[in-house]
Homo-oligomer: A and B are copies of this chain.
């Protein structure tokens, strides 16, 4: 029915509402804890779309997407880690806060 609010990609939960993932340390060197890229060529992740992040990590894990070092890092993640990392980065300010309304 038309009343059910359609979840929009930009409606990320507040940063404080998401637990810090156990494996965040694997990501921080390049992506930062807040998802601000540390080096040109490395994507920003803060506020990114959660489903996209889950799919990207899943693709690195399955080999559908190849990249050094993402492939080996993703292989060390369990599905629960992937969900926790995607939720964490999606909840960081980054895109969501800066995006046009």
Contacts and interface: CB of A to CB of B under 8 A. Distances in A.
A34 B55 CA distance: 23
A42 B46 contact: no
Contacts of A92: 100
B100 A34 contact: yes
A34 B94 contact: no
Interface residues of A, number: 36
Nearest to A8: B40
Interface of A: 7-10, 32, 34-44, 46-52, 55, 64-66, 92-100
B99 A36 contact: yes
B93 A44 contact: no
A99 B40 CA distance: 15
